[in-house]
Amino acid sequence: MLDKMKALVNWYEEVLSMPHRREVASELRDEDDLFLLLLYSEMIGIPNPAYYYTLELYPYMMEKFHDWHLRMGMEKSPLTGFRCC
Amino acid sequence: MNAIVLALIGMIILGLGYRYYSKFVAEKIFRLDPNYITPAHRYKDDVDFVPTNKFVLWGHHFTSVAGAAPIVGPAIAVYWGWLPAFLWVILGTVFAAGIHDFGTLVLSVRNKGQSVGTLAHRLIGQRAKILFLFIILILVLMVNAVFAWVISNLFIQFPASVFPVFIQIPLAVWIGHIVYKKKQKMLVPSLIALAVMYIAAIFSSQYSFLQIDLVRYMGGDGASGLFGLGAVSTAFFIWIVVLMVYVYIASVLPVWKLLQPRDFINSHQLVVGLGILYLGLVFVNPKITAPITNTAVSDVSWFPLLFITIACGAISGFHGLVSSGTSSKQLNKETDARFVGYLGAVGEGILALIAIIAAITFFPSKEEFLATYSSFGAASSGGLGVFIKGASNLAAGLGIPASISTTIVSIIVVSFAATTLDSSLRLMRYIIAELGVEYRMPVLEKKHVATSLAVFSSAALVLLPKGPQGFGSGGYLLWPLFGTANQLLAGISLLLISIWLKRLGRNYLVTIIPMVFVMFMTLWAMFQQVIFQWSWFGNNSNTLLFIFGAVIFVFAIWIMLTAFSALSGKYDDKIITEEE
């Protein structure tokens, strides 16, 4: 009985928080997208003096970078040479 | 007749609809496949695309679609007697709303989780997208105006509800702070906030100094207020301005500061409201005093106006936006669509059912019912008040004193309306920005420009129609327009599902019949209203309503023609049929 009550409370909390979690996650993603744009703006023709250094981060964020360029409407990686896809 | 029997009959039909009809549609028409990889799995990103347990998803879907609309519509429509409203809610839910919500969910799941707007572009063509944006724009404009009127009206009729509703704002800011800054769970703080609100409601129902009654401050109904207006007109004006300032601020603030925490508190109210009403129904066991059909009606016939007066609760295009906008991206298995979509519509039907029951059991006798529901205008402006008093009658069965339960029920309805108002104003801002992109007017994309435009046009629309109590009190005249815009959207969604089914070579009668029915009723009702009521030679000539009605009428004709040519395969616009 107690387990069932607990499950019910969990279900209720899950229902209430689900849409809000999504909204907060999408705001966070928007901010991350902006950050990636700041890092790799050179690739789309915006001069970026720190590019030489930010490129060093690239191998560590390959997966994130791949998702980012897909979201930005680029089917293939804009980076020539070494690339994620 | 006994109200419990009516509720049971309604629920049994809804249950049979779910058990048999939706099963038939799921297996034979949509042919759901448990092995199909849903968008939630294929495009999983933990933001939009998240595979979700079907019970949780149903809960979310239901709370997103249920609001004040399935209460307001039935409370007005019982004007024609309880039977027409009851039948339309129950049969509409089984054959139209259920299939519409379920169908848009499946259609979107089978098309990468895209929304109805994008699917209209893909299945019908470029013109459909613009048409779609305009219809949604009209719909949200109507929603803003109607719900601003609903809230102002309730604040004036039930002044004890003002204080608890406003106390919710600092409570929401507090919850936002502890949930997002202190990283605590939201369930307990939001329940505490709800309790504080209800305690405030108890106090404000007892002590008149806590009741913010603008009309009384100005010296009662007959007194004059500001700018040479009557007291009631001034009160409407002030509340509408206050609400618009509030929604402006709420719409431009980050969501976690005010909107979301307010939602946390409000989502409990749906459970509280349904719980109080259905439990009260069992304890009170009231008799239905309203007539089966109202034979005294001489102004507007139930046929076809009933079908646009009750939109949400019988069929509503707004659900398609939720189904295809968010729920389809979170569906774990394709076969869950029946549970989430169809049962979501059934939940809304149950809410509309209790709204009907509260309104038809409130009066002690048939004569008193007929005296209050004396004309369609009187029903439209007073229906919601009757629902609230009827609902507090039911709540009295649980031992809650009438004055307190009236305040609590009005808080629940105000909260529903305010949530709808908030989100539809935000939606309107996005649509204005999108139209700005489409027509190359970058100034419309600015946040404050788009929000101001949305707020001013909504405020202007709600203030313009003149009701019997003067300036601002005529917001209810917009209700049929809201219903029509909503049904039009539902018509388009059903059409999209039909086109999709036809291209797959399946039987599309289950969607085309409700579509034709809904569109026919909408066209007919709008034609009657526009020509015989609102035009310059009509009974209640009104230029503003005439223009809006005429625009919606033209859109409806346009959709019918597009539907006909798209279904017969002679459509000449560029159609994107292949998966890109």
The tens digit of pLDDT for each residue in B397-427 reads 898 898 899 999 999 999 888 888 887 888 7
Cβ-Cβ contacts under 8 Å, B59 against chain A? 11-12, 14-15
Has the ipTM of the complex gone over 0.90? no
Is B577 a domain residue? no
Q: How confident is the model at residue B576 (pLDDT cuts 50, 70, 90)?
A: very low
For residue B364, count CB atoms less than 10 angstroms from its CB and return exposed for 0-12, middle for 13-18, buried for 19 or more. exposed
**Which amino acid is it at B420?**
T
Is A26 a domain residue? yes
Shortest distance, CA A26 to any CA of chain B (angstroms) = 6
Is B575 a domain residue? no
Is B499 in contact with B567 (CB distance < 8 Å)?
A: yes
**Percentage above 70 pLDDT, chain B:** 97
- Residue A35: domain span: 2-71
Whose CA is closest to B344, among B361, B320, B362, B376?
B320
The chain-wide mean pLDDT, for chain B, equals 87
The chain-wide mean pLDDT, for chain A, equals 81
Is A21 a domain residue? yes
Tokens at B506, concatenated: 């399946």
**Mean pLDDT of the region B205-231:** 80
Tokens at B363, concatenated: 């009066």
- Specify the pLDDT at position B135: 83
What is the reported pTM? Answer: 0.88
Q: How confident is the model at residue B47 (pLDDT cuts 50, 70, 90)?
A: confident
CA atoms within 13 A on the CB side of B236: 30
Q: Which of B43, B57, B61, B267 to mutate to test the interface with A (most CBs of A within 10 A)?
A: B267
pLDDT above 80 for B62: yes
If you write DSSP's letter for every residue of B32-73 in order, what string do you get? --TTS--HHHHT--SSS---B-HHHHHHHHHHHH-SSHHHHH
**Mean pLDDT of the region B148-169:** 92
Strand partners, B2: B287
Q: Where are the alpha helices (DSSP H) in B158-258?
A: 162-180, 187-206, 214-217, 231-252
Whose CA is closest to B68, among B355, B478, B362, B307?
B355
- Specify the pLDDT at position B210: 85
Is B579 a domain residue? no
User: pLDDT tens, A2-40?
Assistant: 899 888 888 888 887 777 777 778 888 888 888 888 888
**A–B interface: beta-carbon pairs under 8 A:** 56
Residues 6+ apart with CB under 8 A from A33: A68, A71, A72
What is the distance between the alpha carbons of residues B287 and B171, in angstroms, rounded to a whole number?
40
Pairwise pLDDT comparison (B215 vs B386), residue with the higher score? B386
- Specify the pLDDT at position B180: 77
Whose CA is closest to B428, among B44, B148, B97?
B148
Is A82 a domain residue? no
Tokens at A38, concatenated: 């700041």
Q: How confident is the model at residue A81 (pLDDT cuts 50, 70, 90)?
A: low
If you write DSSP's letter for every residue of B424-472 in order, what string do you get? HHHHHHHHHHHHHHHTT-GGGGSHHHHHHHHHHHHHHHHHSSEETTEET
**Mean pLDDT of the region B52-79:** 89
User: pLDDT tens, B372-381?
Assistant: 999 988 998 8
Alpha-carbon torsion (B457, B382, B473, B236), positive or negative: negative
Residue B324: which H helix or E strand, with range?
helix B317-325
The gap between the terminal CA atoms of chain B, to the nearest Å, is 58
Least confidently predicted of A65-74, B220-229, B368-377, B554-563: B220-229
Nearest to A18 among B52, B187, B256 (CB): B52
Q: How confident is the model at residue B573 (pLDDT cuts 50, 70, 90)?
A: very low
Is B580 a domain residue? no
Strand partners, B52: B331
pLDDT above 60 for B123: yes
User: pLDDT tens, A53-72?
Assistant: 888 888 888 888 888 888 87
What is the distance between the alpha carbons of residues B19 and B94, in angstroms, rounded to a whole number?
11
Which residue in chain A is spatially nearest to B325 when comparing CA positions? Answer: A19
Whose CA is closest to B478, among B73, B72, B146?
B146
User: pLDDT tens, B300-355?
Assistant: 888 888 999 999 899 999 889 889 888 899 999 999 999 999 999 999 999 999 99
User: pLDDT tens, B527-552?
Assistant: 888 888 888 887 778 888 888 888 88
The gap between the terminal CA atoms of chain A, to the nearest Å, is 52
- Specify the pLDDT at position B579: 43
- Specify the pLDDT at position B571: 53
Cβ separation of A29 and B47 shorter than 8 Å? yes
Shortest distance, CA B109 to any CA of chain A (angstroms) = 18
- Specify the pLDDT at position B574: 46
Residue B498: which H helix or E strand, with range?
helix B479-503
Which residue in chain B is spatially nearest to A19 when comparing CA positions? Answer: B60
- Residue B409: domain span: 3-568
**Mean pLDDT of the region B505-525:** 92
Token pair 């519409």 in the structure block, residue: B100
Is B513 a domain residue? yes
Is B578 a domain residue? no
Is B222 in contact with A50 (CB distance < 8 Å)?
A: no
Q: Is the peptide bond before B291 cis (omega within 30 degrees of 0)?
A: no
Cβ-Cβ contacts under 8 Å, B340 against chain A? none
- Specify the pLDDT at position B33: 94
Nearest to A15 among B63, B256, B330 (CB): B63
Least confidently predicted of B44-48, B87-91, B395-399, B491-495: B44-48
Residues 6+ apart with CB under 8 A from B317: B100, B139, B485, B486, B487, B488, B489, B490, B491, B492, B493
Report the domain count for chain A. 1
Pairwise pLDDT comparison (B187 vs B389), residue with the higher score? B389
Give the CA radius of gyration of chain B: 23
**Mean pLDDT of the region B55-59:** 88
Alpha-carbon torsion (B170, B171, B172, B176), positive or negative: positive
pLDDT above 70 for A80: no
Shortest distance, CA B6 to any CA of chain A (angstroms) = 29
Strand partners, B471: B466
What is the distance between the alpha carbons of residues B269 and B118, in angstroms, rounded to a whole number?
34
Report the domain count for chain B. 1
Which residue in chain A is spatially nearest to B260 when comparing CA positions? Answer: A20
Q: How confident is the model at residue B216 (pLDDT cuts 50, 70, 90)?
A: confident
Is B330 in contact with B254 (CB distance < 8 Å)?
A: no
What is the distance between the alpha carbons of residues B528 and B539, in angstroms, rounded to a whole number?
11
- Specify the pLDDT at position B572: 45
- Specify the pLDDT at position B577: 45
Give the CA radius of gyration of chain A: 19
What is the distance between the alpha carbons of residues B70 and B316, in angstroms, rounded to a whole number?
10
